[in-house]
Amino acid sequence: MRTRHLILTVAASALMLAGCTGSSDGDKGGDPAKLQARLTDAKAGLDDAETITISLATEKLPSGVTGLLSAKGKGNHSPAFEGKVKVVTGGSSLDADVVAVDGKVYAKTSFAPVFLTIDPASLKAPDPASLLDTETGISQILAKTEKLDEGEKSRDGEDVLTTIRGTLPGSLVKDIIPSAAEGKTFAVTYRLDDDDVLRDATLKGPFYPNGGDVTYTVKLTTSDTPVTIEPPSRAGR
């Protein structure tokens, strides 16, 4: 009887250990196909929205770099955008009210009386409206991320979020920040809630020549209420 009891105990322990080991491996890596399905759902949620509020920002840029520090505002998929943009140029930061619509970008700084048409590429910054384009904007990266795996769970207030990590080719990231190194690979981390709504995304890599790695964080919220964005009534060239 003792021998039988010992055998049953060992067998039960082995089964429990095997079950725990299998669960740990599954949680750590995740199924890439399932992770991609969740990212695809998140993309659809963004693309179906009438209005998107977007924040794209980095804490700082490397010394001597001209580029985008932050862009915050709202827009639609026409695409169009209105909000505030901060760039760094000549060692100083410059804030501007920005309207981007019909393929043109208008900016008004604190020392300019009217909106002026600008070329954001000259500041190594994107046309902010392009970030909301369903084909070439932020949402496209959700469908094209490579080497997906699942990271640690995290919290945002009371919500527990799923972390999905992967990589993006520089040729794709250039659509977001024009100066991104085309031949390099960028790391990306997404956080999704239980309904596959994208809470935020973090991109890290060589966004600027000779600037080392820079990290941008993107936060997006959606609305079913349409927004109309038109060129400024008073705009100069």
The CATH number given to whatever domain includes residue 198 is 2.50.20.20
pLDDT in tens, 21-52: 333 334 445 899 999 999 999 999 999 999 99
pLDDT in tens, 160-188: 999 999 999 999 999 999 999 999 999 99
- Asked if residue 31 belongs to a domain, the reply is no
- Asked if residue 63 belongs to a domain, the reply is yes
Q: Which of 80, 88, 63, 84 is nearest to 72 (CA)?
A: 84
- Asked if residue 10 belongs to a domain, the reply is no
| Count: domains in the chain | 1
pLDDT reading at 232 higher than 60: yes
Q: What is the pTM of this model?
A: 0.84
Report the run of H or E that residue 203 belongs to, with start and end.
strand 198-205
Gap between the Cα atoms of 193 and 174, Å rounded: 27
Radius of gyration over every alpha carbon of the chain, rounded to an integer in angstroms: 23
CB of 214 within 8 A of CB of 61? yes
pLDDT in tens, 83-94: 999 999 988 999
Amino acid at 161: L
3-state helix, strand, coil in the chain (%, to 5): 25, 40, 35
- Asked if residue 209 belongs to a domain, the reply is yes
Q: Which residues of 48-65 are buried (b: 16+ CB within 10 A; e: fewer)?
A: ebebbbbebebeebeeeb
Please give the residue range of the domain that contains residue 145. 41-225
| Sequence-separated (6 or more) residues with CB below 8 Å from residue 101 | 78, 80, 81, 129, 229, 230, 231
- Asked if residue 106 belongs to a domain, the reply is yes
Lowest mean pLDDT among 1-5, 74-78, 134-138: 1-5
The mean pLDDT of the chain is 88
- Asked if residue 93 belongs to a domain, the reply is yes
For residue 140, give Cα distances in angstroms to 72, 143, 144: 19, 6, 7
For residue 201, give Cα distances in angstroms to 29, 49, 83, 121, 122: 19, 18, 20, 23, 26
Q: What is the pLDDT of residue 36?
A: 97
Amino acid at 70: S
| Sequence-separated (6 or more) residues with CB below 8 Å from residue 235 | 106, 114, 115, 116, 117
